[in-house]
Amino acid sequence: MIFPRVARLALLVLFAIALPGAARAGGDISFEREYRRIIEVENQVMAQPAYQESKDLIDQIGQAREYLSSVEKRYEEAAATDGPEPIYSREVAKIQARLNRLERRLAELTKTLKDVREAAEGASGGRIFGRAANRTAVFTYEDPQATGLGDAVAYLISKKLLFTSPVQSFAVVNFRGEQLETPVGPDRASRSPTYFDKVDLVTQNQNFGLAVWGRITRAGAGISIDSFLQVPASASREKLGADIRLPKAMGGATLSAHLKSDRVLVSTTDLEKSSAENLKRAARQVSSLRRQPKASAAVVAKLEGLYRIVGRSGSWVELQLSDGRRGWTSVDEFCSDECAFLLKAADFTNDILAQTAGAGPRRLPEGFTRDAEEMSKEFATLRLLQDQPEKAADLAESWIKNSKTRHPKFESLLALARLQIALKRETARGRSYEDIRLEPQVLQPIVDTLVEASIANPSDDELLRNLAKLFNVLGDSARADLASQLADRVVH
């Protein structure tokens, strides 16, 4: 819902053109003030993160604008006959009352979002662990049927992530249930943010690279736990992408590709009701720091507040609390069987992190969803695109062939991989990179593949911009302009 500044300015200019003049027949009556109030409310709502309440407000703003337009039209018609003043005085009160309601709801929206941010940031304020290069959030799992497992599941996953992280400079923030609660009065309860709204808001506000969250439901006599991984757009732009710069002889433009799978169901864990208590018990055991790295050792402290890893022994880690006390704990020691299966969400997240640090892709073990496998393959293809385009092409082509449905993102990656292969082939022949200009018969099939992918997914603005640049290389300025215009429409 956050609109670019240029888009907001364009809206202002667009609507300013439609503003009525200050003087009309029958008197100096104007609706300009009401129009400007609508624009002001709209701009403020557009600057907020999206959730249902802000979407509802946008709809009401549109209705208010239509109503104001209809009143203005009747005003003009009345001005040509017996004078507009009665219509203006009668309708302007209704318009102003509607705008007052919109402004009150905007104030409530702003306060609600502020409450969520403050609850997430706690006493620290600002960005949590802002200096860490890799920051992941784990949110208490949504628990609408009150199984009591939301915090325990998130706690175990967050500790597994931290204790087995494959990267340096890594921080995990575990948001518990009470940190996502937003106090609202009865009149606002139905419009308060949903669980996902809050997850999305905190993830964006804190600029986390990855976020793990989920949902717990009762399934017959048992319990089902869905785990999701979310990749915010900002993180995708920063780390989860690849660029191909064309030679100067081909215009020198840069083609880009970034992770498109931004939110996936990683795994589903089905538990017997009796196993639910085991999860709570495992979380309590993991939160107990022991004198030595063994389950029978005496408990010396509780794991709480800030801490850091200072030692390791097998699956055990030694932690130092902020007050200097030390102790040992282990997730794997206390989380076995169904509990261990639940931790696959942490394993998958760490696998994505490992690839951002340069590790090669690996085959996912059983138990992950098709969507999780797709995200892993897509990211692996992106990582190979620049330096190993042949392997990137093999991965993309394999996924396309083994899928029952179209996958335009892999078709796009395959086209870019083939472009990079063609460029590498020319440099291998001894040509200076900047002097390379691929022949139309080489470039056209690549462009055709991208065109097919854009037809299958016309909302991919990045793909459309890549097409525009390649159309320019082919000298097709008309189609280049069209692709650019379509990309702009997608964004705005």
Within a domain: 367: no
Within a domain: 153: no
Question: For 30, left (φ over 0), alpha (ψ -120 to 50), or beta?
Answer: beta
The whole-angstrom separation of Cα 347 and Cα 241 is: 21
Helices (H), 26-84: 32-46, 52-79
- The pTM of this model reads 0.70
The whole-angstrom separation of Cα 395 and Cα 121 is: 41
Per-residue model confidence (pLDDT) at position 153:
92
Within a domain: 143: no
Per-residue model confidence (pLDDT) at position 42:
67
What is the total count of domains within the chain? Answer: 2
Please count the other Cβ atoms lying within 10 Å of the Cβ belonging to residue 13: 9
Q: What is the CATH number of the domain that holds 416?
A: 1.25.40.10
Within a domain: 136: no
Determine the structural domain holding residue 61 and report its residue range: 5-121
Question: For 457, left (φ over 0), alpha (ψ -120 to 50), or beta?
Answer: beta
User: Residues in the chain, how many?
Assistant: 492
The whole-angstrom separation of Cα 345 and Cα 226 is: 9
The whole-angstrom separation of Cα 472 and Cα 487 is: 15
The whole-angstrom separation of Cα 284 and Cα 144 is: 22
Per-residue model confidence (pLDDT) at position 114:
60
State whether residue 396 is helix, strand or coil: helix
Last-in-domain residue among 83, 98, 121: 121
Within a domain: 362: no
Q: Which two tokens stand for residue 388?
A: 């190993």
Within a domain: 100: yes
Contact 327, 300 (CB under 8 A): yes
pLDDT along the chain (492 residues), means of 10: 36 30 37 69 60 59 75 70 60 75 70 55 57 84 89 92 83 68 44 70 80 90 91 68 93 92 87 85 94 95 86 93 90 88 88 78 78 90 92 94 87 95 95 95 94 90 94 94 90 66
Within a domain: 126: no
Within a domain: 358: no
Per-residue model confidence (pLDDT) at position 482:
92
Closest CA to 32 of 3, 75, 2, 1: 75
Residue 265: what residue type? L
Contact 306, 322 (CB under 8 A): yes
The whole-angstrom separation of Cα 212 and Cα 292 is: 31
Task: Give kind and range of the element (H or E) at residue 29.
Answer: none
CA count, 13 A, side-chain hemisphere, 406:
10
Please count the other Cβ atoms lying within 10 Å of the Cβ belonging to residue 234: 13
Last-in-domain residue among 121, 154, 170: 121
Per-residue model confidence (pLDDT) at position 108:
67
Per-residue model confidence (pLDDT) at position 317:
94
Last-in-domain residue among 121, 141, 156: 121
- Taking the CA atoms of 18, 23, 25 and 27 in sequence, report the sign of the dihedral they define: positive
The whole-angstrom separation of Cα 227 and Cα 269 is: 8
Name the DSSP letter for residue 180. G
